[in-house]
Amino acid sequence: MKTLLTICIVGLFLFLGCETQIEKTDIGYMGTLSGRYSDLGQATLQGVMLAIEDSGNADKVNLIVKDDYGKADESIKALSDLKSSGVKYIIGPNLSSVATAVVPMLEAQNMFMLSPTTSTSSLAGLRDNFLRTMPHNNYKQAELTAKYILEKLKIKSVVVLYDSRNASYSNDIVRKFTEAYMRVGGELNAVRSFNPDSGTSLGSLLEDDKDSPPDMYYIIGSSIDTSLLIWQIKKAGFNSEILIRKWAASNEFYRLGGEAVEGVKVFDYYIDETTDAYQDFEMKYKERFQKSPSWMSMYGYEATRILVESLPDLKEGKDFNTALGISAKKNKLLINFEFDEFGDAFLPLHFFEIHKGETVHKGMVE
């Protein structure tokens, strides 16, 4: 009897030991989850989480999340932590200033990144271990923006207000836009930087405009700072038009800006929200997070979908750019999206205006 019992127990262990073990791939998410830019990182992360859950491979992917705090030194530590955890593929980062700090380290670490939201041109045209789903701030975009503002919107004078903390992003845009706008005949009244961490009031940026406000303020900043500046412009009684960057247009921006953001303008990439694919994404997002998705969530979702669908090809030995390029062609939400040979993204530019809390599409910029 004891012999039979022993045989049964050994047989049970052998059976359990032979169960198929699901091999998991560790994927990292490095994003700005704390601080003034946290709305960007948190919204992106929610899109990342939904994409993994929606992929049909959630049991094969282990997501490891690291907060870079929107700071270069913290991002280097986060990258080191992910490397120590055995992570090879990373979604992120969110900020251009963070990307410029960590991307040069990737090749030596045999790590690869796909960023949903960075757009600095300082990382464009390079054969490295970095891809992104957001097009970089190129001269063609700057020229299209400048011409549209001057010729279509009849804006003859502009004051640029930009956040100096995300310098690799802001300085890039300021330089290209100011050159393009003056080249097509526009008048640049002033370019002013701001840093809320310095304690200086944002309202002080407008003091020199009291006697002669510009036709337009072009604000390059986070959702919090952009909405606060818009309120200051309205409070001052200026009738200036306002142009913002996509960076600012999070759900938090609409909440903080309220009625003040009515009529605000933005150049962006077109997402057709009437498609079955987008409506399915929106429905699942609302069910999962009890709120509507922002553009950051959508880009996080699509970047993660591209990476997760590429994992089989990556395991077979395809290089990062080739494998992700194949998956990118199956994209569901980004219309006319593609990677070039350097892993830089292309999307056509469109013009939008905010009306009654909605971003209304006005057409492609050509």
- Report pLDDT digits (tens) over 242-259: 999 999 998 899 999 999
Tell me the pLDDT tens digit for each residue of 113-160: 999 999 999 999 999 999 999 999 999 999 999 999 999 999 999 999
Residue range 268-277: mean pLDDT, rounded: 91
Per residue in 91-121, pLDDT (tens digit) is 999 999 999 999 999 999 999 999 999 999 9
Q: Residue 313 has what pLDDT?
A: 95
What is the pLDDT, as a whole number, of residue 304? 97
The tokens describing 313, both together, are 């090809």
Q: Quick one: pLDDT at residue 20?
A: 56
What are the chain's domains?
25-136+274-348 (3.40.50.2300), 139-269+351-364 (3.40.50.2300)
Task: Find the largest Cα–Cα distance for the chain.
Answer: 102
Q: Is the pLDDT of residue 178 over 80?
A: yes
What whole-number percentage of the chain has pLDDT above 70? 94
Taking only the tens place, the pLDDT of each residue in 285-343 is: 999 999 999 999 999 999 999 999 999 999 999 999 999 999 998 888 887 788 999 99
The residue-averaged pLDDT of 190-215 equals: 92
pLDDT at 2: 46
In whole angstroms, give the CA distance from residue 278 to residue 282.
6
Overall average pLDDT of the 28-33 stretch:
98
Alpha-carbon gap, residue 71 to 52, rounded angstroms: 27
The pLDDT value recorded for residue 15 is 47
Burial class (CB in 10 A: 0-12, 13-18, 19+), 317: exposed
CA distance linking residue 224 with residue 247, whole number of Å? 11
What is the pLDDT, as a whole number, of residue 56? 87
pLDDT at 12: 46
